[in-house]
Amino acid sequence: MKEVLNALLDLQDIDEQLGELERSKVYLPEMIENITKEMKTLEEKLQENKEKLVESKKKQKQIELDVEEDRLKLAKYQDQMKVIKTNKEYDALVGEIDSKKQKIGDNEDEILKLMGIIDECNENISELELKLKEIRKTNKTHLDNLRNELASLESKIADKQEQRRGLTKTIDRKALILYERIRKGKGGMAVVPLRKKACGGCFKHIPPQMIQQIRRGDRIYTCDSCGRILIWVNEE
């Protein structure tokens, strides 16, 4: 019977490992997701800044062309001033000149604003690129390990299940059914060691006579209180 108990312990070991592997299917992708989230946020910010930089440069160029054109027109108007004949013509031209000057001034303000934005984008880009480089370097090994672990999960589970099938074939059917029933009912350990003269599962005190019987291990004993299979371990 001791062999059956030992086999049940081994089986429980395999089941615990299988449980851990199944949980890994959930938490490994979560860990990968959390680590990559920080990088993704930085990558998005970097992309935003790059797009803003291109757009602002394009805008600046367009406005500079407008200013250049307006300056030529302004020079032309000022030339015309020299040959003006009537007051009406004079008033009209002064109006044109004033509005061109106003437009040039506004556009120059806009160019200054855009140059500020361009400087800011360039600063952000170098800062973000540096940060990303550091984070990628720090996370690389960690992520590689997590991804490898995730990739090998299915084959590890298959191996364990194969090992489990092999083991269950060697275990007494009644003992196996008892084990499966307790494990399902308790949602965890079905075989527990005696600890300090008590059940290792629910801590209920076990009478000395029963402890002796469990120690002999000539049949399967279960805890009166929680129903788990009790085994003797040498440290007791």
Q: How many whole angstroms separate alpha carbon 73 and alpha carbon 107?
A: 15
Shortest separation between residue 223's beta carbon and Zn ion, angstroms: 3
Taking contact as CB under 5 A, which single stretch among the options 127-135, 147-155, 168-176, 216-224 is the one that binds Zn ion?
216-224
Interhelix angle 2-81/87-151, rounded to 10 degrees, is: 170
Interface region with Zn ion, contact rule CB under 5 A, candidates 79-87, 162-170, 183-191, 218-226: 218-226
Nearest 5°: phi and psi at 202?
-120, 0
Q: Minimum Å distance from CB 186 to Zn ion?
A: 10
- CB-nearer residue toward Zn ion: 49 or 200: 200
Q: What percent of the residues of the chain are helix, what percent strand, and what percent coil, each to the nearest 5?
A: 80, 5, 15
Is the Cβ of residue 104 or residue 178 nearer to Zn ion in the bound state? Answer: 178
How far, in Å, CA of 181 to CA of 202, rounded? 17
Question: For residue 228, what is the DSSP state?
Answer: P
Q: Which of residues 194-213 bind Zn ion (CB under 5 A)?
A: 199, 201-202, 204
- Stretch of residues binding Zn ion (CB under 5 A), selected from 25-33, 51-59, 100-108, 219-227: 219-227
Which residues here bind Zn ion, judged by CB under 5 A?
199, 201-202, 204, 223, 225-226
